[in-house]
């Protein structure tokens, strides 16, 4: 198992575009959840907003 959180295994992330993009997506989800109340609907919104942000940045 590898830690792909920011600041960990940067060399691995540099070699894998998919892993790098997944790490960015997870970061956006976590950022959104930190701002949410953590209810079930908040998780759905956090994920949807992260997906939309990734698409917009593509």
| Cα gap 29→51, rounded to integer Å | 9
Q: Please calculate the CA angle 38-50-23 and round it to the nearest 5 degrees.
A: 100
pTM, two decimals, is 0.78
Q: Please calculate the CA angle 54-36-9 and round it to the nearest 5 degrees.
A: 50
Q: Where are the domains of the chain?
A: 10-57
Count CB neighbours of 10 within 10 A.
11
pLDDT in tens, the chain (58 residues): 878 777 788 888 888 899 889 989 998 998 898 888 767 778 889 999 999 999 999 8
């Amino acid at each position: 198992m590898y830690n792909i959180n920011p600041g960990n295994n940067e060399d691995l992330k540099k070699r894998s575009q998919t892993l790098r993009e997944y790490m960015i997506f997870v970061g956006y989800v976590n950022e959104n959840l930190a701002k949410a109340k953590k209810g079930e609907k908040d998780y759905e919104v956090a994920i949807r907003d992260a997906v939309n942000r990734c698409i917009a940045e593509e």
